[in-house]
Amino acid sequence: MRNLLPAIVATATALFARQAEAVAANPLPKPQNITWGSSGAFSVGALTLDGPDHDVLQAGFNRAIEAIVDLRWIPAATEAPVRSFQPFPTPTGTASKLRKRSNETGSLTNVKVQVDDTHATLSHGVDESYTLDITQGSSTVEITAKTIYGALHAFTTLQQIVINDGTGNFIVEQPVSIQDSPLYPVRGIMIDSGRNFISKKKIFEQVDGMALSKLNVLHWHIVDAQSWPLQVEAYPEMTKDAYSPNEVYTQAVLADIINYAAARGVRILPEIDMPGHANSGWKQVDRDMMSCIDSWWSNDVWATHTAVEPNPGQLDILNNKTYDVTGKVYKEMAKIFPDTWFHIGGDELHMNCYNFSTLISSYFASGHTMGDLVQYWVDHALPNFRAASNKTFVMWEDVVISPDAAASGTVPKDVVLQAWNNGLENIFNLTRDGYRVIVSSSDFMYLDCGYGGWVGNDARYNVLINPNKTDGSANFNYLGNGGSWCAPYKTWQRIYDYDFTATLSDTQKALVQGAIAPLWSEQVDDVVISQKMWPRAAALAELVWSGNRDKDGNKRTTELTQRILNFREYLVKSGVQAAPLMPKFCARNPHQCDLNLNQTALWAEPPTSL
């Protein structure tokens, strides 16, 4: 870092020379309430912690101080009014006049933390609020929090507002008062290690990004039909279907990940997807409890399809062995993962797959429906799991709202449903029926969308001339989805602009627990996971922490631009390999890369129904 100091000084000089009256620091997510003073900057010395004797608190403080010292952060993108442009075709307008920063007026040496409840556990609904105050003339950063986890968030805010002044010294630019708390208790991302293995190191990297952006739930889709990388002591043979002996999550590795996340205020929500997406692992225990695992998945002949992607397989819902095995796997994992929530899947069941089950074929022949079969699973699997470990179950929305495989009877209202289809419509219908909902709408939040198809031997790409050239309409290779079912790519603006409670009553809004952005891993592994996850996940982080609107109720997406560009650079400096969103020119020249010069263009409300 010392070798880079001349470049840092030059960059900072240019940055501060063009900085407007607003401070350069611009923490993400934007706090609920942040008020900057104007009396002048504080120098920051060797900060010491004055707070409760608590290992998690001390470790969080140490990480924040280490980040401040090691990164020596100079904001990479700062907010400023859109500059004057030359009118067409008249001479150039005059750029906004900028005010120089006032001199330092104090020195900070102490961080005083008051925590009301140091024994609160990391669980759903834990209080994450905090206040942070630096007053004129004080030498102390004053932090209050209800729990340790609120204090951790205060530290991540602090490390974003202590910046390098360009000469190697640390400052906080002005007195500041922050009152902050999240809008939702569930704010997360989803990783998928069933399609491609994700190493412990890269999972830690995702947790680091989450902690910096105040996301608090890592939904971990651990296994799928393609592989079983999870060690289960009750059935050690299941990891024969891991990709290699080096691509297995031992129980020691699981403990490392759980502990690393917990120390940063991140809950792990484990998912064992059942009874669909089931092949690898399960078949090593007993092939008789499986259906269609040796079938062709048949998307080329949709009438006989057994899965939406290779390789097919579902648990046989009418085989008693299924409940013995799934119960033991769940019981073991429920002991390892301490969170009070557990995800048991429930998505994308295909009736055709069950044509390969003698038991279920006879069941259908006797007049029962697919909905009856799903209800049988709900009525038998959920009580079986509860008897082993009574946690709050999360399931994909399909079990209630799928047009093909929804349960025909009652799904308990204490099951939390993850909504992934049909955007506002499904959120409305699920909350109308009294279910708590996690929003993961694929039209807005699926981070794997828009990368084209991944299945091989696909003749749809073998096209040399646009068949719709005359009328310009979309087709597979020309303006179409190109094989990505949920195309187009979900940009940070698409995510941030999502008003997912727009059509809900107050009663329904209270049932929305928050949002999780999934990154399915058919085309994701260690090499690309962080680039595909970040910094787009940071747009979700602000959306569910403090919302996407200013104090007047207007969309603030344009305001987020410089904040997220700056945060991307902060992530990269912090070791999270986030992708660039724009040319660096845009970070250095606020709003010169906007599509609309009119800075209120996003204030118009989009329709919420056709």
DSSP letter string, 539-598: HHHHHHHT-SB-TTS-B-HHHHHHHHHHHHHHHHHTT--PPP-S-HHHHHSTTTT-S-S-
Angle at 339 between CA 570 and CA 270, to 5 degrees: 75
Q: How far is CA 92 from the centre of its chain?
A: 44
Question: In this model, does residue 19 exceed pLDDT 50?
Answer: no
- pLDDT confidence tier of residue 102, bands split at 50, 70 and 90: low
Q: What is the mean pLDDT of residues 493-501?
A: 98
pLDDT tens-digit map of 246-297: 999 999 999 999 999 999 999 999 999 999 999 999 999 999 999 999 999 9
Question: In this model, does residue 90 exceed pLDDT 70?
Answer: no
Taking a C-beta distance cutoff of 8 angstroms, is the pair 447, 524 a contact?
no
Question: In this model, does residue 97 exceed pLDDT 50?
Answer: no
Range(s) within the chain of domains with CATH label 3.30.379.10: 33-80+103-180
Number of Cβ within 10 Å of residue 552's Cβ equals 7
Question: Can you say whether the dihedral through the CA atoms of 214, 220, 226, 230 is positive or negative?
Answer: positive
Q: What is the mean pLDDT of residues 380-389?
A: 98
Instruction: Mark whether 348 is an active-site residue.
Output: yes
Share of the chain above pLDDT 70, in %: 94
Q: What is the mean pLDDT of residues 336-348?
A: 98
Q: What is the mean pLDDT of residues 320-338?
A: 98
Question: In this model, does residue 93 exceed pLDDT 90?
Answer: no
* Span of 3-17, 71-85, 519-533, 590-604 with lowest mean pLDDT: 3-17
Q: What is the mean pLDDT of residues 461-489?
A: 96
- pLDDT confidence tier of residue 524, bands split at 50, 70 and 90: very high
Share of the chain above pLDDT 90, in %: 92
- Distance CA(306)–CA(297), nearest Å, equals 5
- Distance CA(500)–CA(498), nearest Å, equals 6
Catalytic residue among 348, 425, 522, 559: 348
β-pairing, 130-134 vs 140-147, is antiparallel
- pLDDT confidence tier of residue 88, bands split at 50, 70 and 90: confident
- pLDDT confidence tier of residue 355, bands split at 50, 70 and 90: very high
Task: Establish whether the linkage from the previous residue to 311 is cis, with ω within 30° of 0.
Answer: yes
Q: What is the mean pLDDT of residues 356-367?
A: 98
Q: CATH code for 33-80+103-180?
A: 3.30.379.10
Q: How far is CA 379 from the centre of its chain?
A: 31
- Distance CA(202)–CA(198), nearest Å, equals 6
Question: How confident is the model at residue 522, as a pLDDT?
Answer: 98
Coil vs helix vs strand at 301: coil
Question: How confident is the model at residue 610, as a pLDDT?
Answer: 72
Question: How confident is the model at residue 351, as a pLDDT?
Answer: 97
Question: In this model, does residue 310 exceed pLDDT 50?
Answer: yes
- pLDDT confidence tier of residue 20, bands split at 50, 70 and 90: very low
- pLDDT confidence tier of residue 299, bands split at 50, 70 and 90: confident
- Look up the CATH superfamily of 186-453+466-548: Glycosidases (3.20.20.80)
Give the torsion through C-alpha atoms of 535, 536, 539, 545, to 10 deg: -80
Question: In this model, does residue 18 exceed pLDDT 60?
Answer: no
Taking a C-beta distance cutoff of 8 angstroms, is the pair 339, 267 a contact?
yes
Q: What is the mean pLDDT of residues 307-332?
A: 98
Question: In this model, does residue 11 exceed pLDDT 50?
Answer: no
Taking a C-beta distance cutoff of 8 angstroms, is the pair 215, 229 a contact?
no
SS3 content of the chain, % helix, strand, coil (to 5): 35, 15, 50
pLDDT tens-digit map of 548-566: 999 999 999 999 999 999 9
Question: In this model, does residue 335 exceed pLDDT 80?
Answer: yes
- pLDDT confidence tier of residue 4, bands split at 50, 70 and 90: very low
pLDDT: is 165 or 6 the higher one? 165
Q: What is the mean pLDDT of residues 504-514?
A: 98
Number of Cβ within 10 Å of residue 508's Cβ equals 20
Question: How confident is the model at residue 498, as a pLDDT?
Answer: 98
What integer best gives the mean pLDDT of the chain?
94
Question: In this model, does residue 1 exceed pLDDT 70?
Answer: no
Question: In this model, does residue 305 exceed pLDDT 70?
Answer: yes
pLDDT tens-digit map of 176-193: 999 999 999 999 999 999
Range(s) within the chain of domains with CATH label 3.20.20.80: 186-453+466-548
Residue 278 in tokens: 């089931």
Which residues are registered as beta bridge partners of 291?
Answer: 314
- pLDDT confidence tier of residue 547, bands split at 50, 70 and 90: very high
Question: How confident is the model at residue 9, as a pLDDT?
Answer: 35
Q: What is the mean pLDDT of residues 385-395?
A: 97
Q: What is the mean pLDDT of residues 71-75?
A: 96
Which residues are registered as beta bridge partners of 111?
Answer: 49, 141
